[in-house]
Amino acid sequence: MELSAAQAAVMMFLLSSLILSAVKAAEDFDGASILRRKLQSPVAGLCAQLIEPSGFPCSEHKTQTKDGFILGLQRVSSSSGNLRRQSGPPVLLIHGLFMAGDAWFLDNPNQSLGFILANRGFDVWVGNVRGTRWCHGHVSLSEKDREFWDWSWQDYALYDVREMIRYIYTVTNSRVFVIGHSQGTIISLAALTQPDIVEMVGAAALLCPITYLNHITARLPLRLVKMHLDQVFLAMGIHELNFKSDWCTRIMDMMCDGHVDCGDLLTSVTGKNCCFNSSRIDFYLEYEPHPTSTKNLNHLFQMIREGTFAMYNHGRWKNMWHYGQLKPPKFDLSRIPSSLPLWMGYGGNDALADITDLQHTLKELRSKPDLLYLENYGHLDFLVSTRSKEDVYDRMLAFFNSLEHLAVVTE
């Protein structure tokens, strides 16, 4: 149900008061300061911070998007290998919302997909989208500029993923195998509808695939959508969402103190995870969450409200300016070639990547992807389950191993 003008005004006032009091009081708030100590941003690069200490050779790379963002990529090889001598095809890892490339290395080398791929001989490339801490800003904009944060997942797909794949394709002279999780599947599938991108891709594996969000059951996102929190933040001129910041920490604490049931915050966001390694939460919080833009959250919430897999909705008249039509263009999944091998893993307890929405996706694809369904798996289990190697990754790798010939580029 849409808010009336009076309700919207009251909501704006209440949230404005909440945010302003949060900013003012954050430095004096003991609970927030305790959480912030867990959420200090790492200083060193991802290779030095997380990957090399586990014994894996790693090199840092930079590449620039057409709209001026400088992305960070990491290249990882086997703990017993050489960065230039990996025998397998290049694989690009694309992370989810409020995450970055570190998400693929948060558990030990026998459980983390990034390490497993490297030890199996794949040429592992770790992607980090704009705004995350492993990227390197913009050629002319500062993070303090409003324009720096004027993007959504549409730009991840059409600029960031395009540039990552182009860079890897150029360096390796091989088609790239793509792996995405959560939001990483949204931007992967959107990117694969573009002919100039998909011709550089050999195959794609998608964990918790999302293109439609009509049937999500995640309690907290649905509550925030109903509160129109994304629209309120944009109206107030808040363009960066950084949960490591003082005011975001304060707001989350105040919301959980009587406004939102945060007793099991992960379950309220992702659904019940069967095999999540809760003993490592303190370690995960040393790296997650990463920043994103309010516009990106607004775009994701548009998917829930409007039931579409489409470009960002600027409003009818601004859409005319940007797209030449009143409604934003849809990403047409039928444009993904039937010849592109696809693999998808999904779970029965996933409150974000709902099975009904996945069926909608499958109907629009021209090909029939290989599917892995795990009834007891939730959204995070596919990334940090204690059993993900046996349950998920071994099956994904069998799929990739059958396709290695597709990575070769013939002149």
Enzyme catalytic residues: 182, 350, 379
The owner of tokens 């709209």 is 67
17's CB contacts (< 8 A; 6+ apart) are none
Identify the bridge partners of residue 179 per DSSP, sorted by sequence position. Answer: 93, 205
Token digits for 238? 């808040």
According to DSSP, the β-strands at 201-207 and 90-94 are: unpaired
Distances in Å between the Cα of 15 and the Cα atoms of 8, 25, 251, 282, 292 are 10, 15, 10, 29, 20
Residue of 59, 122, 66, 136 lying closest to 93 (CA atoms):
122
Q: Which helix (H) or strand (E) holds 356?
A: helix 355-364
Nearest CA among 213, 184, 211, 190 for reference residue 301: 213
Cis peptide before 289 (omega within 30 of 0): yes
Query: How many Cα atoms are found within 13 Å in the side-chain-facing hemisphere of 339?
Result: 7
Beta bridge partners of 255: none
**Vertex 29, ends 236 and 26: CA angle to 5°?**
25
Q: How far is CA 259 from the centre of its chain?
A: 27
For residue 100 the two structure tokens come to 């970055």
* Rounded distance between C-alpha atoms, residue 259 and residue 168, angstroms: 46
